[in-house]
Amino acid sequence: MRKKILITGANGFIASQVVKLLSKDKYKIYGLNRRKITNAGVKYFNIDLSNHSKINNLISTIKPDYLIHTAWYNKHNEYWNSTKNIHSLNDSINIYDSFCKNKGKKILILGTCDEYAAAKKKCHEFKSEIKPANIYSSSKNLLHMYVQSSYLHNKVKYNWLRIFYPVGQGENKNRLLPSLIRGIKVNGKAEIKQGNYVKDLIHVEDCARAVIECLKSDYNGPINIGSGKGINISSIGKLIINKLGYGKLIIKNNKKSINDKKNYMVADNTILTKKIGFKFKYDNRKTINECCKYWDEN
């Protein structure tokens, strides 16, 4: 009998890639979504997570073996300190409790690298300080603490997946790479305000593959989902120009940014690569080249 998986935010940036890959596997997939979409082999439900009674009824009806929870308020440049994060937190607690009540086996929840404190070395799941700097990351961390403490008595396995900087197909066009690529294509130049900031890019396909490998593993607890290879924003811009074959960068190295005060954010991915056994398909150059190709066609 096929195992049943429920995926929230199923048409989202990362989740849509997870659905695409899982569709090739031997699972019965249910997608939870606010918009109507169709995908052969996937049963979708258009229910808002804030409708707790409908969510609870759905879970008690299908009784999923696994839950991949990706849904969260994420309007670009507004989500950092929006009170809507509190609504996402409450909705997440409800769906978690309902899943556990209905004898779910394992839950994966997307956290964020922004839960970590500012540091000059790679972020480790157990060695690095957790110090959220905004409502978004604080709400995510509160959810992790709730799941972590609940595990002590319900024993429902979980992976708290701290996502670093996914890029690629389906990404919001206002995010870093699309805005740089489109700026160069349209204006022949792009301005970089934090050229010295170091990011951990991970291609969204690798990100989705990592989520699935975690799902299949017996590992319990937090896992960093990042390439482990830091690259500063100036270098990202230069690789984009190299791939496009034209363009100019205007680089400014500001000391502070309103929404990103942590200028070095790179994953220690030892748990992902050693304990889970995940192998990356994309390096930074290949990731950026693929992004340039995608945004050249879209």
C-alpha dihedral over 8, 12, 17, 19, to 10 degrees? 30
Distances in whole angstroms, Cα of residue 169 to Cα of each of 7, 197, 242, 255: 19, 23, 20, 31
**Per-residue pLDDT, 36:** 65
**Cα dist from 124 to 94, 113, 199, whole Å:** 29, 10, 15
For residue 251, report the phi and psi dihedrals to the nearest 5 degrees. Answer: -105, 130
On whether the CB atoms of residues 100 and 156 are closer than 8 A, the answer is: yes
Burial class from Cβ neighbours inside 10 Å (0-12, 13-18, 19+) for residue 167 reads buried
Starting at the edge strand found earlier in the chain, the sheet holding 66-69 runs 42-46, 27-33, 3-8, 66-69, 106-112, 157-163, 221-225
Distance CA 85, CA 270 (A): 30
Where do the domains of the chain lie, and which CATH numbers do they carry?
3-164+204-225 (3.40.50.720), 166-200+229-267+281-297 (3.90.25.10)
| pLDDT averaged per 10 residues in sequence order, the chain, 298 residues | 94 95 91 76 92 98 98 95 98 98 98 95 97 97 98 98 97 95 93 91 98 98 98 96 94 59 90 98 97 90
CA distance 13 to 174: 13
Written as one string, the DSSP assignment of the chain is: -PEEEEEETTTSTTHHHHHHHHTTSSEEEEEEESS----TTEEEEE--TT-HHHHHHHHHHH--SEEEE------TTTSTT-THHHHHHHHHHHHHHHHHHTT--EEEEEEEGGGBPP-SS-B-TTTSPB---SHHHHHHHHHHHHHHHHHHHH--EEEEEEE-EEESTT--TTSHHHHHHHHHHHHSEEEESBTT-EEEEEEHHHHHHHHHHHHHS---EEEEES-S-EEEHHHHHHHHHHHHT--EEEE-B-S--SS---SB--B--HIIIIIS----S--HHHHHHHHHHHHHH-
What is the per-residue pLDDT for 26?
86
Asked whether the beta carbons of 105 and 120 are under 8 A apart, the reply is no
Distance, in Å, from the CA atom of 106 to the CA atom of 195, rounded to the nearest integer, reads 40
| Residue 70 and residue 9 in contact, taking contact as beta carbons nearer than 8 Å | yes
